[in-house]
Amino acid sequence: MSDGNFFTDLSKSIKVPADITKSALEPPAKQIGEGLGDLFFIAFSPLAKARIKKELDIQKFKEEIEKELSLIQPDKVSEPSLNIVGPALEASKYYIEDEEIRSMFAKLIASSVNSDKKDKSHSSFVEIIKQLSPFDAKNFKYLFLNTHLHIAVGKIKTKNKNGGENTIIENFSPFLNYTSRTKIFTLLQLTT
């Protein structure tokens, strides 16, 4: 046997098991790779979905602000109050998925641009909106829009020294008697 044939035979004998190994392992390796890819997708698809939803919510917020701004007469547009717009935009990013709260922020921002409403807008309204749940916002909106129905929401009581209670006002509604002086009423005027 010559040395040339030996190396050729050795090369062929090594190549055959490598081909067998490659063809035997390729489908399982491919399946493992696809399996890992599927696991990666399953693990990170909620993040991708959340990102897509967040982007949609941001787009809705932009559209709501644009809609509210488009309702302002051009001669009533003024420089926005930075102490309202800045905090409102900053706070809104944490509440952007809540439609009611997002809408209130959009309307508050627009009211700070409207010269007719600018004096009524107050920087504390941002903090008030932040403290509302979407359910609270819906309830306040309902009460505000239905003040003509004289809906009573409770009683105002005081406690005396003996531990007893004295009712001061029954069938209390926060919007009936003091509507022009309450911040919450003004806030709802601007954001409803």
The Cα–Cα gap between 190 and 19 comes to 76
HSE (side-chain half, CA atoms, 13 Å) at 176: 12
Top mean-pLDDT range of 9-23, 31-45, 119-133: 119-133
What are 68-88's pLDDT values in tens digits? 999 999 999 998 888 999 999
pLDDT of residue 112: 92
The Cα–Cα gap between 120 and 45 comes to 45
CA geometry: angle 60, 63, 64, nearest 5 deg? 85
In terms of Cα–Cα distance, which of 63, 112, 60, 54 is closest to 88? 112
What are 112-159's pLDDT values in tens digits? 999 999 888 888 999 999 999 999 888 888 877 776 665 666 677 788
pLDDT of residue 186: 74
What are 53-72's pLDDT values in tens digits? 888 888 999 999 999 999 99
Q: Locate the domains of the chain by residue range.
A: 3-191
pLDDT of residue 190: 75
**Average pLDDT, stretch 165-183?**
62
pLDDT of residue 162: 85
DSSP 152: -
pLDDT of residue 76: 92
Structure tokens that stand for 126 in this block: 């941002």
